[in-house]
Chains A and B, each alone.
Chain A
Amino acid sequence: MIPIEYFLALSGILFVIGALGVLTKRNAIVVLMSVELMLNAANINFVAFSSYYGNLNGAVFALIAIAIAAAEVAVGLAIIMNLYKTRDTISLDEINLLRW
């Protein structure tokens, strides 16, 4: 059996990669992908802890989180595509009509 620390290290690394991507990338689709990495890091935690505790709460949580993440990507991509249609760009630096 693989010790739980390994899973935690994997998920921690994934989460940090995702967070760095959100902070540094300027392409809306790449940012959305980074968010997905962060969500999946959480899913790894859920599944790992679920098998560690031997209860199914975490596994169920992970399944539901995957479904929700898929829905979120669908809505997110549609919105980004709409941005591309109206503004011809998906760069987050170039969308600046709204600011104080």
Chain B
Amino acid sequence: MIEYGAIYPEIILILFAVAIPALHLLIKSSRALAGISLVGILASAGMVVYYMVGDYPAIIGDPSAPLIVFDALAAVFSLVFLSVALVVVLASARYVEKDRHLAEYYTLIMMSTAGMMLVASAQDLLTIYVGIEIASMATYALVAFRKKDKRGSEAAVKYVIVGGLSSALSLYGISLLYGITGTSSLAGINEVLAAQGVELTTLLALALLVAGFGFKIAIAPFHMWAPDVYEGAPTPVSAFLAAGSKKMGLVVMFKLFLVGLIAIQANWDVVLGIVAILTMTIGNVVALSQTNMKRMLAYSSVAQAGYMLMAIPLATVVGDYAITGGIFHIITHAFMKSGAFIVVAALAYVAIGESVADYKGLGKRAPFLAFSMAIFMFALAGIPPLSGFMSKVVLLSASVEAAEITQWMIWLGVALVLNSALSLYYYVRVIKYMYVEKGETEARIKVPIALTAAIAICMVATVALGLFFDPVLELCSEAARTLFPALG
């Protein structure tokens, strides 16, 4: 008899996701459907919290080669994905109310969240692959949700082709790893690799995996699709992609490299370091010249992925401390980026364009939206005392600590600081447009309460995580330690 406790949170979510299209026959209102989705998301989060305060459920699969383990890492990431889904559903309640196929929209968001949560608790390349595909397949359809929208359908085609290519590359890499080691369990792969060392095929598999998962996270040079897709997708979906889907790719990277491939770290730590620096620099430099808000936020999230990625090479030296920083940055970024996207969505709802120039004089027209956008921009740039600053501090101190042992790692910290300074330019430009420049009208803007609530949640989280970070850091550190079983 197999105990399925480890996937109860996903099962709850999927039950609600399947029920919603059926309920749509009776309930037509978008707000009611969003309400039901919120109940499902909260129920699933309740299950996760129940496991966190009590005991973690039994693992699924053979204890020596587990398939699914719901541990502290899975719990923290599940909560991140669920809170992103929560704000996205809240923001969508009014945003999509005039569209057709409403029920499917909420179903797809919840299915995709379930896939991401499965990835967070997966310990075998098989379950990781299945989870990624569940999550991605749902987001392909979400990007194409507005079928009549020309930009949306173009973005969806680009996304589906790049997504398919990414899964083909990573699947081939996985098949080679299986061929080399004879197992698909992460721990098992590490054991065999530690014993037999590195061959040319291992390096080929490594390259394919970095490319495949790199496309998912949109790290340079595999990031070209991200701005197109984020711009073309419905804005709440862009928020979901940037804050949810990208984090799923990062948790895969954490597990793959620090659990599955740590034995051969000498072969990949420099490469990942260079990729991280490239990613943050390219993201920030290209973001400087963007005039479309969604595109600018897309490039900014490419850059932010670079900050999170640098935790992996650092972790080869300082262990769980670097990953604590990485996870903390993932949490803070989830709130500030989805918040920023939802402000764009709220403004689009009241027919204000997506270009930065359209935001002139917003400080007067919509004080709350302008203020929250300013908070998100400052947090993304890393201004104290907001949360984006705190998480960057942890990453920076990890890189300084790592540099004492491995000298080149100081460059990761240097790149982080220089890039933060560079990024300040385009973040502050938005604030300047909102507050300094005069708009054509001063008519006040009214935004629906659900959108305001979603923005408020993100804003409170962004501010609170910067001020009261101790308990969250504690959680992140507990989650990070699960990747390093030797530390206990």
Contact = CB atoms under 8 A, between A and B. Distances in A.
Same complex: yes
Interface of A: 8, 11, 15, 18, 22, 28, 31-32, 35, 38-39, 41-43, 45-46, 48-49, 52-53, 55, 57-58, 60-61, 64-65, 68, 71-72, 75-76, 78-80, 82-83, 85-87, 90, 92, 95, 97-100
B357 interface: no
Contact of B144 (A39, A79, A90, A95): A79
B401 interface: no
Given A72-B137, A79-B156, A82-B156, A61 B184 contact: yes
Contacts of B171: 38-39, 42, 65
B290 interface: yes
A48 B158 CA distance: 33
Nearest to B173: A42
B302 to A, nearest CB: 12
Given A61-B175, A68-B133, 10 more contacts: A35-B161, A38-B172, A45-B172, A49-B179, A61-B129, A68-B130, A76-B161, A83-B153, A85-B147, A85-B153
Contacts, number: 141
Given A76-B140, A100-B290, A61 B154 contact: no
B167 interface: yes
Contacts of B151: 97-98
Contact of B175 (A46, A75, A80, A97): A46
B150 A86 contact: yes
Contacts of B179: 8, 45, 48-49, 52
B161 A87 contact: no
B167 A72 contact: yes
A87 B153 contact: yes
Contact of B165 (A35, A45, A65, A75): A35
9 tightest Cβ-Cβ pairs between the two chains A and B: A38-B168, A45-B175, A35-B164, A98-B228, A42-B171, A49-B179, A42-B175, A42-B172, A53-B182
B339 interface: no
A68 B127 CA distance: 12
Contacts of A90: 157
Most buried by A among B155, B168, B174, B183: B168
Nearest to B127: A64
13 contacts: A45-B179, A61-B129, A61-B184, A68-B130, A75-B141, A76-B140, A76-B161, A79-B160, A83-B156, A95-B157, A97-B154, A98-B227, A98-B231
B346 to A, nearest CB: 22
Contacts of A57: 126, 178, 183-184
Question: At the interface, is chain A mostly helix, strand, loop or mixed?
Answer: helix
A72 B295 CA distance: 27
A22 B286 contact: no
B444 interface: no
Contacts of A15: 172
Given A46-B175, A49-B175, A57-B178, A98 B160 contact: no
A55 B188 CA distance: 14
Most buried by B among A42, A45, A64, A72: A42
B169 interface: yes
Contacts of B133: 68, 71-72
Interface string B132-146: 010001001100100
Interface residues of B, number: 46
Nearest to B159: A79
Contacts of B140: 75-76, 79
Interface of B: 125-126, 129-130, 133, 137, 140-141, 144, 147-151, 153-158, 160-161, 163-165, 167-169, 171-172, 174-176, 178-179, 182-184, 227-228, 231-232, 286, 289-290, 295
B147 A80 contact: no
B126 A64 contact: yes
B465 to A, nearest CB: 32
B270 to A, nearest CB: 26
Most buried by A among B125, B126, B165, B232: B165
Contacts of A8: 179
B160 A75 contact: yes
B153 A79 contact: yes
A82 B130 CA distance: 26
Nearest to B150: A86
B169 to A, nearest CB: 7
Contacts of A76: 140, 160-161, 164
A80 B286 CA distance: 29
B172 A86 contact: no
Most buried by A among B130, B133, B148, B178: B178
Contacts of B183: 55, 57
Nearest to A76: B160
A48 B147 CA distance: 42
A32 B172 contact: no
A42 B174 contact: yes
A35 B153 contact: no
Contact of B295 (A35, A38, A100): A100
Nearest to B154: A95
Contacts of A42: 168, 171-172, 174-175
B126 A32 contact: no
A53 to B, nearest CB: 4
Contacts of B164: 32, 35, 39, 72, 76
